[in-house]
Amino acid sequence: MKKFLGLAFAIDRLNAFVGRVACWAILVAIIVSAVNAVVRKAFGVSSNAWLELQWYLFGAVFMLCAPWTLQLNEHIRIDIVASKLSKRVTNIIEVFCHVFFLMVFCGLMVWLCIPFVLNSLASAEASVNAGGLILWPAKALILLGFALVFLQGVAELIKRVAIMRGALQEDAAADLHEAEAERILHELANVDPRISQGGMQP
């Protein structure tokens, strides 16, 4: 079980790294959008490439941060029913849903996206808009995103099974998420002295 947990934590580190890097695309998208708007208003010049770059960047954030979101358990949940169930039943539901929904869906998407990307790459597919960008990198982001979500699903499944077998305390997995949140808070505190362990001070 320790080897499997080692694999799970390695996947966690990979997706956390990819997510942290990808989230900077938000800042780049804001800068591109602002510059494009200023140039268009001030000089009457516009470019389809710059416009398409914005949704490229948005797509990168959405697809590459999704595995990190799953790892941190920050995706939207409606726990009206689950909150009333025992931990054992909840864990069984988690395993079932990971195996028969998440893993199957992501595996199918990876399978379908491989020819989708390869055909686009082979044909040097480009935007139908004049001066637009090539399309295969955007399609490759879809493939990469679902592949990483699949890997994170494997990691979450391993950790859930380890919890059910008593090889991992449920609080330990939560502590990893809390440690990440504390790290981010600590970084913010170094930027803004008003932020402390008690939160934002007025």
CB 147 within 8 A of CB 69: no
In this predicted structure, what is the pLDDT of residue 199?
42
What integer is the mean pLDDT of 171-198? Answer: 51
What integer is the mean pLDDT of 30-34? Answer: 92
Displacement of CA 79 from its chain's centroid (Å): 22
Cα–Cα distance measured from residue 133 to residue 196, given in angstroms and rounded to the nearest whole number: 45
Say which range, 3-7, 130-134, 152-156, 184-188, has the weakest mean pLDDT: 184-188
Residue with tokens 């996947």: 11
What integer is the mean pLDDT of 106-133? Answer: 93
Cα–Cα distance measured from residue 94 to residue 100, given in angstroms and rounded to the nearest whole number: 10
Give the helix ranges, DSSP H, for the chain.
2-22, 24-43, 48-71, 87-97, 103-122, 136-165, 170-191
Give the predicted TM-score (pTM) of the model: 0.80
Give 176's contacts (C-beta < 8 A, 6+ positions apart).
12
SS3 195: strand
What integer is the mean pLDDT of 149-170? Answer: 90
Cα–Cα distance measured from residue 85 to residue 38, given in angstroms and rounded to the nearest whole number: 54
Residue with tokens 């990808």: 22
- CA dihedral over 13, 15, 16, 22, signed as positive or negative: positive
Length in residues, the chain: 202
What integer is the mean pLDDT of 153-158? Answer: 94
Q: Say which residue, 176 or 56, is predicted with more confidence.
A: 56
